[in-house]
Structure 1
Amino acid sequence: MSRPYRKLPPQIRAADRRAKLISAGVELVGTQGVSAMTMRAVCREAGLSQKFFYESFADTDALLHEVYNGTLRRVRDLVDEAATGGEGDWVRRRAGVDAAARLVAEDPRVCRILFVEPVADVRLRRYVRRSILALISADSDRSAVENGVTVASKLRYATLFGSLISLFIEWSEGNLGTDRAVFVDHVMAQLERLPGAGHVVVADEPVRQV
């Protein structure tokens, strides 16, 4: 029988090691990119020997998806919390956008993980759209409402999503000034151009490995 180390049972120590590996993955992908997240680099960043990596993850792809999912959950939870209690859809949505803007300014790793890296990494690219919805939508517990949209509407979505992604990246890198209210107002103005504005929501499901 395994004996607790420093009064911690084995499962708690394993969970702690897993959390350290994920944190290391966030730091590496968020500051240097996906290519920097090798097993050796992750273990070095986490301060763990490589033998512990397989305790939590089958490979670096599995860790990458956890890094992405965890970052997306962090954003979604923050947006939901900020939007709670507001009166009216516009007020709640603006509170969510403001919270997202504050987060990516304080932690630019968020934008790099969710938006920058997927451009070059095919494993993550398909999930960019879900990320921007998480950043701008307070209704993150339901499926995206897209039934019956036309090709023209999809083109508008694609154009505006690209614009919003670019805006958040530029804001996180400090290229759009420091007035968060001005930035949030501009994002809100863009959202008004979305088909069915005020009713866009995001699917509440994790990114699946492919």
Structure 2
Amino acid sequence: MHERDENILVVEDDVQICRFICYALKQEGYNYQSVDTAQGALESIVLGHIDLVLLDLGLPDFDGMEVIKKVREWSEIPILVISARDQDREKAAALDNGADDFLTKPFSATELMARIRVAIRHLRKNNGNYSSTVLTKDDLKIDLDKHLVYLGESELHMTPMEYNLLALFFKNIGKVLTTRYIIQMIWGAGYGEDTQALRTLMAGLRRKIEANPAKPQYIVTEIGVGYRMKDI
């Protein structure tokens, strides 16, 4: 078992689930600590050297959604929400408030570890001042300086809106982006919530980058929430 450098905070008040998560982390060689309250989570994040937070929303003192809001006032530490709340609006709210990912209970240790690996890759890129202007995902490549997109060896013609949308996904690869967030980033905060415009733009982008737009290889739909560019 390879011992890892990352320190993970588990915020979970269900004893059995907490034990399950901690056991899975231990098996993978992660350093971890656990707390069972929102206040305990905030104190640990402030006082400790925490690299990733696994956060339950249904905590006994106050809602985990408030933890996300408070932490995002001063920190960009990755937050993976783990919750029994499976409503799309709850997932969207957590992501809009600053969570990086959302995992619905029940879940397998395999899926949990995959989500953790994605979050840690993002963490390492940020800590390493990841500033490459050429980003790649399989055969798809974007040059942020030259505003060029390639699929394999072929350059793709993109409209300005399609390019901006693809660049947004590349900068947040592996992360679920809500429709509300995407609309604000592409059209501006005052645009409203015209999801049809986003669906039309997404359809055009997929026709250019996907071999089969009905079964996307790069950008998948998170039903009721938004979209995610695959990382794994």
TM range (shorter): 0.3 to 0.5
TM-score scaled to structure 2, two decimals? 0.31
TM-score scaled to structure 1, two decimals? 0.33
Which of the pair is proportionally richer in strand? 2
Which of the pair is proportionally richer in helix? 1
Work out which structure has the larger RCO, using CA pairs closer than 8 Å and 6 or more positions apart in sequence.
1
